[in-house]
Amino acid sequence: TDALVEIKGLKTHFFTDEGTVRAVNGVDFVIPRGKTLCVVGESGSGKSITARSILQLVDAPGRIVAGEILYHRRRKDRCQGSRDGEVETLNITKMDPRGKEIRRIRGKDIAMIFQEPMTSLSPVHTIGNQIMEAILLHLPVDKQGARERAVEVLRRVGIPKPETRLGAYPFQLSGGMRQRAMIAMALACEPDLLIADEPTTALDVTTQANILDLIRELQQDLGMSVMFITHDLGVVAEIADDVVVMYLGTVAERGDVDAIFHDPKHPYTRALLRSVPKMGLGARDRLDSIRGMVPHPFARPSGCPFHTRCDSFMPGTCDRLVPPRERIAEDRDVYCLLYSDIEKVREAQGGVAR
Ligand code: SF4
Ligand code: MG
């Protein structure tokens, strides 16, 4: 895989008075260049915190405590004479969360959109001014150039008569149009990576389908990477090239979308897929749901984080050993002791739960 972003051994913990929440607890995966990666998991799986870690946007009392996030940026300077396509590697975890370096990356190289557009749009400024401001901050254009580019991106995201919408305030737009305006702002500087955190969850089904189509189309036309966070496997089926399944701050498995849907290996992925209502059946008729509850954040299970709910639980093994990464095929990782040489793992981990 041609990696745009590499996440290695990432741990992001929250230090509260009641104890430490290991929201992200040792996560490894790659965001490929020019593809859509879906990160799927229930709430509390650490997907949003992983995304926020990539932009150094973790709020106190949270902090990245271990691991590396490497951004392999391809130079695309607009000035002449520069060699196009040269790649430089930036270590985001080494950057000061309030420093210049990461602020330059946010918005220009890596942009983020959310479920609630008003997280990124200001209610007291017009759509046009907000988009133009982002452009003027990051691109070498004058005011007129910024205006033209704002009209262009609004048109690109399917906002009709964009020239007339520049002066609109967010509250004057419908929910779907506001979502499009937020995407336009994120795309204004042609980022390498768009991180989308459940951006369609609050929308009705039709608008959701339109926005997913739009993101898919933009991803292909602009050749950008998308990291799409969702708990909805229907959305994953719709837009993913690659999939990372997360559970309790760890990766359960990862692979391309066909492998995950047609040949799931991890008991958690299998349970998730079984819990999706079958075509033609209502949610009430779902045949199976995952038994048990997601453990309380302060009461992380020892050993495999899924062992309290797993149908294949092996007593004395799954509650003692932390499943290591097993590479079962190219670009295919599973973290489950069913796929490990248990004696070797026991030896490596000294038989002690961590
Ligand atoms: Fe289940 Fe054990 Fe695999 Fe964890 S390691 S998913 S408990 S079989
Ligand atoms: Mg979330």
Tell me the pLDDT tens digit for each residue of 334-349. Answer: 999 999 999 999 999 9
- Single out the residue of 241, 198, 199 nearest to residue 223, CA to CA: 241
Residue 74: the pLDDT is 86
Whether 308 shows a pLDDT value over 50: the answer reads yes
How large is the average pLDDT for residues 187-205? Answer: 89
Residue 83: the pLDDT is 55
Q: Is 33 in the pocket of ligand 1 (CB under 6 A)?
A: no
Pick from 311, 336, 354 the residue to mutate for probing ligand 1's pocket: most ligand atoms within 8 Å of its CB.
Answer: 336
Residue 285: the pLDDT is 45
Whether 354 shows a pLDDT value over 80: the answer reads no
Q: What is the chain's mean pLDDT, rounded?
A: 90
- In terms of C-beta density within 10 A (0-12 exposed, 13-18 middle, 19 or more buried), how is residue 256 classed? middle
Q: Is 267 in the pocket of ligand 1 (CB under 6 A)?
A: yes
- In terms of C-beta density within 10 A (0-12 exposed, 13-18 middle, 19 or more buried), how is residue 40 classed? buried
Give the separation between CA 38 and CA 90, rounded to whole angstroms: 23
Residue 348: the pLDDT is 94
Pick from 250, 251, 266, 310 the residue to mutate for probing ligand 1's pocket: most ligand atoms within 8 Å of its CB.
Answer: 310
198: CA distance to ligand 1 center in Å?
A: 28
Q: Is 307 in the pocket of ligand 1 (CB under 6 A)?
A: yes
Q: How many CB atoms lie within 10 A of CB 326?
A: 18
pLDDT band at 84 (very low <50, low <70, confident <90, very high): low
SS (H, E, C) the chain: CCEEEEEEEEEEEEEECCEEEEEEEEEEEEEECCCEEEEECCCCCCHHHHHHHHCCCCCCCEEEEEEEEEEEEECCCCCCCCCCCCEEEEEHHHCCCCCHHHHHHECCCEEEEECCHHHCCCCCCCHHHHHHHHHHHHCCCCHHHHHHHHHHHHHHCCCCCHHHHCCCCHHHCCHHHHHHHHHHHHHCCCCCEEEEECCCCCCCHHHHHHHHHHHHHHHHHHCCEEEEEECCHHHHHHHCCEEEEEECCEEEEEEEHHHHHHCCCCHHHHHHHHCCCCCCCCHHHCCCCCCCCCCCCCCCCCCCCCCCCCCCCCCCCCCCCCCCCEEEECCEEECCHHHCCHHHHHHHCCCCCC
- Answer for the pair 29, 244: CB distance below 8 angstroms, yes or no: yes
232: CA distance to ligand 1 center in Å?
A: 23
φ, ψ for residue 115 (rounded to 5)?
-60, -40
Q: Which two tokens stand for residue 53?
A: 């870690």
Q: Which two tokens stand for residue 249?
A: 């701050």
Pick the range with the lowest mean pLDDT from 54-63, 73-82, 174-183, 325-334.
73-82
Residue 264: the pLDDT is 97
Residue 351: the pLDDT is 53
- The residue whose CA has the least distance to atom 3 of ligand 1 is 336
Q: How many CB atoms lie within 10 A of CB 316?
A: 9
Angle between helices 143-156 and 175-187 (to 10 degrees): 130
Whether 76 shows a pLDDT value over 80: the answer reads no
- Answer for the pair 118, 170: CB distance below 8 angstroms, yes or no: yes
Whether 242 shows a pLDDT value over 60: the answer reads yes
User: What tens digit of pLDDT does each residue of 310-337 get?
Assistant: 999 999 999 999 999 999 999 999 999 9
- List CB contacts of 149: < 8 A, sequence separation 6 or more: 132, 135, 139, 141, 188
> What global pTM score does this model have?
0.91
Residue 291: the pLDDT is 79
The number of the ligand 1 atom at minimal distance from the alpha carbon of 312 is 8
- Answer for the pair 304, 318: CB distance below 8 angstroms, yes or no: yes
- Single out the residue of 176, 200, 181, 229 nearest to residue 46, CA to CA: 229
Sign, CA torsion 199/239/310/45: negative
Ligand nearest to the CA of 40: 2
Pick from 247, 253, 312, 322 the residue to mutate for probing ligand 1's pocket: most ligand atoms within 8 Å of its CB.
Answer: 312
pLDDT band at 201 (very low <50, low <70, confident <90, very high): confident
